[in-house]
Amino acid sequence: MDAGAVEGDLVEVLFTEKQIVDRLAELAAEVDRDYEGKDLVIVGVLRGAVMVMADLARALDRHVEMDWMAVSSYGSGTKSSGVVRILKDLDSDISGRHVLIVDEIIDTGLTLSWLTSNLSSRGPASVEILTLLRKPEALQMPVDVKYVGWDIPNEFVVGYGLDYRERYRNLRDIGTLAPHVYS
C-alpha cells in the first residue's frame, strides 16, 4: 500500500520504502562481516518484524536459519503495558548458536530486555539485537542494541510492519500516525 492511500492518516512520511531497503542492505553487510564463519539464526519478533526480517534475510550474502517468536506487551493500545507474554516460542534449539533478534522497533525496551534475557538463558553462543527503529526518548530499560537502522522521536509510527490495531502493516513507507486516528 502506498502512503498516498492513507495520506490523511499520516502526519508525515519518515522513511520511504527505498530508504528502508537501502538501510537494511547496509545492516546486512555489517551482519555478514560480524558473523562470518559462524552459525547464525535470526529470530524475528512477530508480527511487526516480518517485513524487516524478510528484507534483511534477502540482503544477507550467506545461509541463515530463520525462526520466529511472538511476544506481546501492547495489546491493542499505542503504548507498551510492560507485561510480556510469549504467544509463540522458537521451533529450534539455539544452544551453542549465535542468535540475532530482529525487531522493527524498540520503544520502551521492556520487551527486548525480557526477550534477550529469556533467550540468553537457553545457552546460545551469543545474543544480539538488530532493530530498524529505536526511540531513545521512550526507553525505560537499557537495551544493548548492536544494529540500529535509525533513531526516531517518541511518536507513534506505522508502516513496514508497524501497526495500529492491525492496520497499516502493509504500508511500504514508515510514517507518523496522525493523533486523530487513535484519539
For residues 127 and 99, is the Cβ–Cβ distance under 8 A?
yes
The reply to whether 143 falls in a domain is yes
**What is the distance between the alpha carbons of residues 28 and 59, in angstroms, rounded to a whole number?**
6
Grid coordinates belonging to 5: 492511500
The reply to whether 103 falls in a domain is yes
What letter does residue 165 receive in the DSSP assignment?
T
**pLDDT tens sequence across 112-144:** 999 999 999 999 999 999 999 999 999 998 899
The reply to whether 5 falls in a domain is no
- Kindly list the catalytic residues: 107
The reply to whether 94 falls in a domain is yes
Domain count of the fold of the chain: 1
Residue 106 parent element (H or E): strand 98-106
**What is the distance between the alpha carbons of residues 87 and 70, in angstroms, rounded to a whole number?**
5
The reply to whether 89 falls in a domain is yes
**pLDDT tens sequence across 13-41:** 999 999 999 999 999 999 999 999 999 99
- Domain of residue 48: give its range: 16-169
**pLDDT tens sequence across 41-72:** 999 999 999 999 999 999 999 999 999 999 87
The reply to whether 36 falls in a domain is yes
According to the model, what pLDDT value does residue 83 have? 74
What letter does residue 73 receive in the DSSP assignment?
S
What count of other Cβ atoms lies within 10 Å of the Cβ of residue 73?
A: 19
The reply to whether 114 falls in a domain is yes
**pLDDT tens sequence across 141-157:** 889 999 999 999 999 99
42: domain CATH number? 3.40.50.2020
**pLDDT tens sequence across 70-85:** 987 755 555 555 678 8
The reply to whether 11 falls in a domain is no
According to the model, what pLDDT value does residue 183 have? 86
